[in-house]
Amino acid sequence: MTSAPLLQTKLYAPRLTHAAVDRPRLTQVLRGRLGERSSVVLVSAPAGFGKSTILAQALLGGSSGQGSPSVAWLSLDDGDSDPETYWGYVLAALRKASPEVGASAASLLEAPGSTPITTVLTSLINDLASSDQDLVLVLDDYHVIHQPVIHEAMTFLVDHLPSQLRLVVATRSDPPLPLARLRARGELVEVRAADLRFTEPEAAAYFEAMGLTLSPGELTTLEGRTEGWVAALQLAALSLQGRDDAAGFIDGFAGDDRHVVDYLVEEVVQRQSAGVHDFLLRTSVLPRLSGSLTDAVTGRNDGRAMLESLDRDNLFVVPLDDQRRWYRYHHLFADMLRARLLDELPDEVPELHRRASAWHEQDGDMAAAIDHAVAAGDADRAAGLVEAALPAMTRERREARLRRWMEALPDDVFARRPVLANGYVGALMSTGEIRGVEPRLQIAERWIEMAAAEPGDVLPAGLLFAHEQEWRQLPARVAIQRAGLSLMAGDVAATMDHAQRALDALGPDEHLGHGAATALRGLASWRLGDLAAAEAAYAETIGHFVLARHVPDILGCTDTLADLRLTLGRLRDAERAYREALDLAEAEAGPVRGTPDMYVGLASCLLERGDIEAARLHLRMSHDFDEHLGLPRYSHRWRLAESRIRAAEGDLGGALAMLDEAEQVYDLDFSPDAQPVGARRARIWVRQGRPDLALAWAAERGLKVTDELAYLREFEHLTLARALLAAGDAEVVGFLGRLLAAARAGGRLGSALEILLLRALAFQQAGDARAALDAVAQALEMAEPEGYVRTFLDEGPAMAALLTAAASRGIAPPYVARVLGTRNTTPVEPAPLPQGLVDPLSERELDVLRLLASELSGPEIARHLVVSLNTVRTHTKSIYAKLGVGSRRAAVRRAEDLGLLRR
């Protein structure tokens, strides 16, 4: 062998810049493991994930005192895949760190002739084993090494690694070294892309170091868009320099940003073979990738092998399951690939989507099949698929997605598809939209008329439908839509009429239709103020949906049923409805739409019982579910519940802020807005001692004490009464008397309870103690069977004084004591207590369990514990199995019963 000059710059670690963010969650772990003997550290991640920087920080950025190992650094490049060159550099790096090591090995390597590399390495290993110096050898960019003979020699070195040497391999793809064996022996430390991703605090620190100040919302958006990819954040920072509109840039930051494109093309795409390049482009149309799906789209038969290779090579693919069957591309990488696909193969894009649509249809994933059909611009195919999916999507309350698909279709596809047109009407109206409803209803009605004019069962020419049953039920369904349209227009009589027509047209076993029509009759009764009839109709509706097994509809109706029961003064029945609905949801195979709403409703009931802690827990649990599982008014109702909790905690400013947010996300539906946000806000103003603002609001709404009373304005009139009471207006006593008579006449005992308390305060203010105590006594008698607490506490110290006076006169003293002594003590109904855990939880599982009881999401738990999300999921599955539960909520409840969260 002959000696060749070596580039000394390859033997130095990269210099840390001023913008290098301190990341102790990684550097401290690495330093600790590198202090252990006979260890191999693998840092494997795609380009631009900061592998070299984190190693430099861990090895060179900390203390370098006595006892710390010396660092031998080698930055590899494409020219080092020659065995002589490679081992020459390795020995040079080691000798630079420890000059007394490797002299004999270097002589053997440079000696004339051919010395077996195992002989060279044996000499090196013996030198290291006899040395007093601990060394760390860093091989940076090992992915450039392609020669099998080098990998074989490295395996020899790894298998005989002396205790004085720690080996660090930084690479874009897993090397062909005995990783599985090292992993099994516990001698392998792995740092992956999931570990290297910047957390939001780290991203904030980076941008601050770059002289850029971003809002928390902008940071969240950018971190989510880049998925913590370090290079992408650096490229975004470059693009942000000198920009006035940072927010606009961040909102649009994608894989077609010129810096991102330049980086990915240069560092990733151009390094791939023609076959890999073609595979990447053609499969970029797929949000999710599997072997058979990519084969269907590309026309190849190597999809699974290709995905496994891309995964090994860290080529910006993210595994979506533990079996590595499904993957996706990193978002920015996918954006870039799609942009290049449109540049290089624009004519093939529709066909790629059509193939994907056909595969997903055959696989049973109708949603993905429709998405690809729409993307392909194949309107007829998309229309047929959407109509076929209508029954299931309606059952699952996925109207928003249906509406998005239908809005992507041209108008002419509806002309021959009356069932689809009517489905579009339902999707629009379920989200409070009536524009575009009438012409599509008329399409359906014209086809019904044409069919009626044909003899026998002959169908009109040109008619298209996916399911014959859906066509047969169309007259009843159109009548239901007409009833809903009339209700939204405020025409209660027409609502009742159309609903009855629907009921007359439905067969006895068509429970879904019966439920929908009966619900509309109930809503009409609600608008008229006949809450007893409305409650009975909704109970009947839920019965129909139970028979139809439409669990999302049951949950949707439960919200309305509970609202009615609360107004009727039946707190226990309202709470029971929510718990029964949750039991139904948990019995289903997967998550059910509407489940988060049940937790919100239950939180409100628990708050009324005086248990703020339990109420907040249930409100937090509602966030454990994906946002799309909420019903249309979930965001609005969640904020209303949060506002009430904050007010109960004394945070009136926070309560107002939540009301402002609730107003922004209000989603009009068929239910009357009986407790508008404006009235809720005015009540907070009264509690803040600002009745003038509440009275000004009342004047704007045209509210007066002489108004004719109607149920739909009862909450607002009660708010006016509160403002008048706070302002010391003597008219309030008579006004409250009228309100009480109206509420009692309508059976609205929930309203009557509130009115009685206000009358008590008004009488007290007027100096009539006897009348005040009489009103309190009536309220206590009404409230005790149901367990009301918060309604009393919200009236403040004056009501507490009245309650104390009542108890001293023998009026419900135990109940008064419970009301006044409430401090978050009402228990949540526990699950049955198990006999014990056969398989106890490990300490790590207990750590995960405690965090499951917090507000943290899964990714946030992973970051807190400095582990991967897959590791958290593995622990969570084990926890569920040991506790015998199937959900996060159930696990927390069972853990509370066992006292595991107090340890």
What's the pLDDT at 241? 66
Higher per-residue pLDDT: 17 or 891:
891
Q: What does the pLDDT look like over 113-132, one tens digit per residue?
A: 678 899 999 999 999 988 88
In this predicted structure, the answer to whether residue 761 has a pLDDT above a threshold of 60 is: yes
Average pLDDT (321-326) is 78
CA 897/CA 880 separation, integer angstroms: 15
CB-based contact 357:367 (threshold 8 Å): no
CA 884/CA 833 separation, integer angstroms: 11
Non-local (6+) Cβ contacts of 252 within 8 A are: none
Note down the domain range covering 23: 8-196
Q: Mark whether 147 and 206 lie in a shared domain.
A: no
In this predicted structure, the answer to whether residue 452 has a pLDDT above a threshold of 50 is: yes
CA 284/CA 336 separation, integer angstroms: 9
Domain end marker among 196, 222, 242: 196
In a domain, 450, yes or no: no
Handedness of CA 853, 858, 863, 869 (dihedral sign): positive
In a domain, 856, yes or no: yes
In this predicted structure, the answer to whether residue 1 has a pLDDT above a threshold of 80 is: no
User: Checking phi first, is residue 822 left (phi over 0); if not, alpha (psi -120 to 50) or beta?
Assistant: beta
For residue 162, give the amino acid letter: P
Higher per-residue pLDDT: 37 or 524:
524
Average pLDDT (179-186) is 86
What's the pLDDT at 827? 34
In a domain, 23, yes or no: yes
What's the pLDDT at 52? 84
The structure tokens listed for 177 are 């070294």
CA 785/CA 753 separation, integer angstroms: 13
Query: Average pLDDT over the chain, rounded to whole?
Result: 86
What's the pLDDT at 796? 92
The structure tokens listed for 702 are 């045209």
Q: Mark whether 215 and 236 lie in a shared domain.
A: yes
Q: Mark whether 112 and 204 lie in a shared domain.
A: no
What's the pLDDT at 582? 92
Q: Mark whether 238 and 174 lie in a shared domain.
A: no
What's the pLDDT at 243? 65
Q: Mark whether 25 and 166 lie in a shared domain.
A: yes
The structure tokens listed for 469 are 């049953």
Q: Mark whether 135 and 219 lie in a shared domain.
A: no
* Of 38-42, 578-582, 639-643, 678-682, the least confident: 38-42
Q: What does the pLDDT look like over 572-629, one tens digit per residue?
A: 999 999 999 999 998 888 888 899 999 999 999 999 999 999 999 999 999 888 777 8
What's the pLDDT at 212? 79
Alpha helix positions (H), 365-417: 366-376, 379-395, 399-407
Domain end marker among 218, 253, 288: 253
User: Checking phi first, is residue 377 left (phi over 0); if not, alpha (psi -120 to 50) or beta?
Assistant: left
What's the pLDDT at 280? 92
In a domain, 442, yes or no: no
Q: Mark whether 556 and 628 lie in a shared domain.
A: yes
What's the pLDDT at 523? 94
CA 125/CA 119 separation, integer angstroms: 10
In this predicted structure, the answer to whether residue 704 has a pLDDT above a threshold of 80 is: yes
Q: What does the pLDDT look like over 331-364, one tens digit per residue?
A: 778 888 898 899 899 999 999 999 999 999 999 8
Neighbours of 315 (CB within 10 A): 23
In this predicted structure, the answer to whether residue 804 has a pLDDT above a threshold of 50 is: yes
In a domain, 670, yes or no: no
In a domain, 882, yes or no: yes
The structure tokens listed for 764 are 């007290």
CA 503/CA 513 separation, integer angstroms: 8
CATH number of residue 188's parent domain: 3.40.50.300
Neighbours of 125 (CB within 10 A): 19
What's the pLDDT at 67? 57
In a domain, 41, yes or no: yes
CB-based contact 621:889 (threshold 8 Å): yes
CATH number of residue 299's parent domain: 1.10.10
CATH number of residue 853's parent domain: 1.10.10.10
Average pLDDT (251-274) is 70
Q: Mark whether 236 and 145 lie in a shared domain.
A: no
Confidence tier at 821 by pLDDT (50, 70, 90): confident
Q: Mark whether 787 and 809 lie in a shared domain.
A: yes
Q: Torsion angle of alpha carbons 44, 49, 55, 57, nearest 10°?
A: -160
Give the 3-state secondary structure of residue 70.
strand
Residue 168 β-bridge partners: 41, 138
The structure tokens listed for 813 are 């003293």
Q: Mark whether 87 and 162 lie in a shared domain.
A: yes
Per-residue buried b or exposed e for 160-172, using 16+ beta carbons within 10 Å of the residue's own CB: ebbebbbbbbbbb
Confidence tier at 833 by pLDDT (50, 70, 90): very low
Confidence tier at 264 by pLDDT (50, 70, 90): low
Domain end marker among 821, 851, 868: 821
Q: Mark whether 757 and 813 lie in a shared domain.
A: yes
Kindly write down the DSSP assignment for every residue of 826-879, as one continuous string.
PPPPPPPPPS--SSPPPHHHHHHHHHHTSS--HHHHHHHHTS-HHHHHHHHHHH
Q: What does the pLDDT look like over 149-176, one tens digit per residue?
A: 999 999 999 999 998 899 999 998 889 9
CA 217/CA 223 separation, integer angstroms: 10
In a domain, 275, yes or no: yes
In this predicted structure, the answer to whether residue 830 has a pLDDT above a threshold of 60 is: no
Classify strands 317-319 and 327-329 as parallel, antiparallel or unpaired.
Answer: antiparallel
Give the 3-state secondary structure of residue 126.
helix
Q: Mark whether 174 and 44 lie in a shared domain.
A: yes
Range ranked top by mean pLDDT from 208-222, 307-321, 375-389, 816-830: 375-389
Higher per-residue pLDDT: 286 or 331:
286
In this predicted structure, the answer to whether residue 656 has a pLDDT above a threshold of 50 is: yes
CA 489/CA 161 separation, integer angstroms: 81
In this predicted structure, the answer to whether residue 634 has a pLDDT above a threshold of 80 is: yes
For residue 426, give the amino acid letter: G
Phi then psi dihedrals of residue 879, to 5 deg: -60, -45
In this predicted structure, the answer to whether residue 525 has a pLDDT above a threshold of 90 is: yes
Non-local (6+) Cβ contacts of 605 within 8 A are: 562, 571, 574, 575, 578
CATH number of residue 558's parent domain: 1.25.40.10
Report the percent of the chain where pLDDT is more than 90: 50
Confidence tier at 270 by pLDDT (50, 70, 90): confident
* Of 9-18, 324-333, 502-511, 736-745, the least confident: 9-18
CA 387/CA 381 separation, integer angstroms: 10
Non-local (6+) Cβ contacts of 5 within 8 A are: none
- What distances in angstroms separate CA 69 from CA 1, 60, 727, one per listed residue? 32, 10, 77
Looking at the structure of the chain, the number of domains it has is 6
Non-local (6+) Cβ contacts of 250 within 8 A are: 214, 218, 221, 222, 225, 236, 240
In this predicted structure, the answer to whether residue 903 has a pLDDT above a threshold of 60 is: no
First to last CA, the chain: 66
Higher per-residue pLDDT: 29 or 657:
657
Non-local (6+) Cβ contacts of 818 within 8 A are: 789
CB-based contact 354:382 (threshold 8 Å): no
Non-local (6+) Cβ contacts of 45 within 8 A are: 51, 172, 191, 192, 193, 196, 314
The structure tokens listed for 488 are 């939204």
What's the pLDDT at 853? 83
What's the pLDDT at 836? 42
- What distances in angstroms separate CA 219 from CA 76, 263, 521, one per listed residue? 35, 22, 48
